[in-house]
Amino acid sequence: MGGRGSCYLNFYDPSNATSGDVNIADILEDILEDEDTKKEYNGKTKKLKEKKIHIKQSTDDMPEDMFIPNITKVDSLTRKYVDTVGTLKNENETLDIRANKLSPNTTACFIHDGTRFNNLHIVFNNDLKLSSKELVEGEAKRQIDSGFWMNVDKNEYVNQTITHEYGHFVQKVLMQRELANREGKMKYEAFLTDLAKAKSKADRQKRVQEYAESYATKYFKSIQRIHRKYFGKEGVDMISNYGKTNNREAFAELFAGLNCCKKPSSICKATEIFLSKKMNVKNFELKTMVG
Ligand SMILES: [Zn+2]
């Protein structure tokens, strides 16, 4: 099982720094019993299912005042980044939105369970069922004030986590698209050869993470170059401390900052310019970004 977990940590207590790894095998075990939810969410369940995004029964206990804005956010992201849905359809994949038991300091994670980075899941910590919009917002405020999460608009506090996780999905889509060119294909084949040498499940997971990290690093460098071109040299404080842990998290944090702010910061704008070069971004205009 070669899964990658990218966790979105709750990190106001530095002693919890190492609690990030979710047990992917455990989460995947529960998948088969997790059917699609029967809740309609004003027709959004059906609408998203047509886009191959399935809301699962395990989320049924989530507080609706938090979860309905989250679903609405996902729907708007699918309309803005239409190629994300296009890739799901082309690859015959689905993205499941689920809840599961995660370590106490993990709010949510993005996982997949294949070497083609397929079978995608955004998994919320099911402890959130004891939460509410107000509590989630309070938590987001605390994370932002401490500098651990990216700054976002107050009315988007409730959507920050799901947007961050969607950012991991966007990185996955970009990686998938790399396979269309020769260099990307060769790199992927080398990765598969390398993966076959893994001696344990943990070793395998490490190699999968390294492959994803190498692309995240490439993307992050492009974003930095774009930033220098249009906005000047970037400052170290432009990215949240969580985004500084690795470039996969940097990418997801920038995506959250970009899509949860009416007036995104320059580094988030550079991320949008980068994305517009890589995929169809609806209503993107360079002059509004740099003006
Ligand atoms: Zn993450």
> What confidence tens digit (pLDDT) does each residue in 220-276 have?
999 999 999 999 998 888 999 999 989 999 999 999 999 999 999 999 999 999 999
Per-residue pLDDT of the chain (291 residues; tens, 9 = 90+): 223 345 443 333 333 333 345 666 667 777 778 999 999 999 999 999 999 999 999 999 999 999 999 999 999 999 999 999 999 999 899 999 999 888 777 888 888 766 666 778 899 988 888 889 999 999 999 999 999 999 999 999 999 999 999 999 999 999 999 999 999 999 999 998 998 898 877 777 778 888 989 999 999 999 999 999 999 998 888 999 999 989 999 999 999 999 999 999 999 999 999 999 999 999 999 998 897
CA of 291 to the centre of ligand 1 (A): 30
Query: What is the per-residue pLDDT for 111?
Result: 83
CA of 70 to the centre of ligand 1 (A): 16
CA of 35 to the centre of ligand 1 (A): 25
Query: What is the per-residue pLDDT for 4?
Result: 36
As a whole number of angstroms, the distance between CA 85 and CA 77 comes to 10
Please name the residue that has the structure tokens 């690859």. Answer: 91
Q: Quick check: 267 and 223 in contact, CB under 8 A?
A: yes
pTM: 0.92
Record the tokens describing residue 185, joined without a space. 């294909």
As a whole number of angstroms, the distance between CA 39 and CA 77 comes to 21
As a whole number of angstroms, the distance between CA 56 and CA 97 comes to 6
Give me the numbers of helices (H) and strands (E) for the chain, helices first please: 11, 5
CA of 34 to the centre of ligand 1 (A): 23
CA of 245 to the centre of ligand 1 (A): 10
CA of 248 to the centre of ligand 1 (A): 7
Sequence-distant (≥ 6) Cβ neighbours of residue 256 within 8 angstroms? 149, 150, 152, 160, 163, 164, 167
CA of 162 to the centre of ligand 1 (A): 10
CA of 249 to the centre of ligand 1 (A): 5
Q: Where along the chain do its domains lie?
A: 4-165, 182-290
With residue 225 as reference, give the H or E element that holds it: helix 201-231
As a whole number of angstroms, the distance between CA 268 and CA 239 comes to 9
CA of 79 to the centre of ligand 1 (A): 22
CA of 110 to the centre of ligand 1 (A): 7
- Per DSSP, the residues of 1-52 read ---EEEEEE--SSGGGTTTT---HHHHHHTTTT-PBP---GGGHHHHHHHTT
